[in-house]
Amino acid sequence: MKHRPTLALADVQAIGTAALAHAQQNNWNVSIAICDDGGHLLWFARMDGAPPMSAQIAPGKADCAARSRKASGVLEKVINDGRTAALKMPVLALEGGEMIVVEGVCVGAVGVSGVKSTEDAEIARAGITAIGAATGF
């Protein structure tokens, strides 16, 4: 039987707190979602002033990164580079979803929506690094 790390509630709260702090520091109003490795929502926050649609997009970005085992921006780039068949995948391929990697294992993901996609990804990575995890393999 394999043993693998998993996210604990304290980890999820620490990631969320750090991601919120990073967004607030930059005056970015966003929605932030954290999910487990299967894409199931564990934590969510929509900051005051965040676009209403961001409340749906952030969990979709987290789900994409968790289930594809890639940052959501990687899949967006694949599509932008002409592989339009990837549009049929059941994930939201927009930059801003980042994997949470511990001991070489994807244990979940963070998705952020509300500002530029590069800034969304920056917020997600700030949360992940707060627990000493990596954002990719």
pLDDT at res. 119: 98
Report the pLDDT value the prediction gives residue 137, as an integer from 0 to 100: 86
* Homologous superfamily of 9-129: Haem-degrading domain (3.30.450.150)
Q: List, for the chain, all residue ranges whose pLDDT scores fall below the cut of 70.
A: none
Check residue 33 and give its pLDDT: 98
pTM above 0.95, yes or no: yes
How far is residue 114 from each of residues 27, 50, 78, 131, measured CA to CA in Å?
A: 11, 6, 22, 23
SS3 content of the chain, % helix, strand, coil (to 5): 45, 20, 35
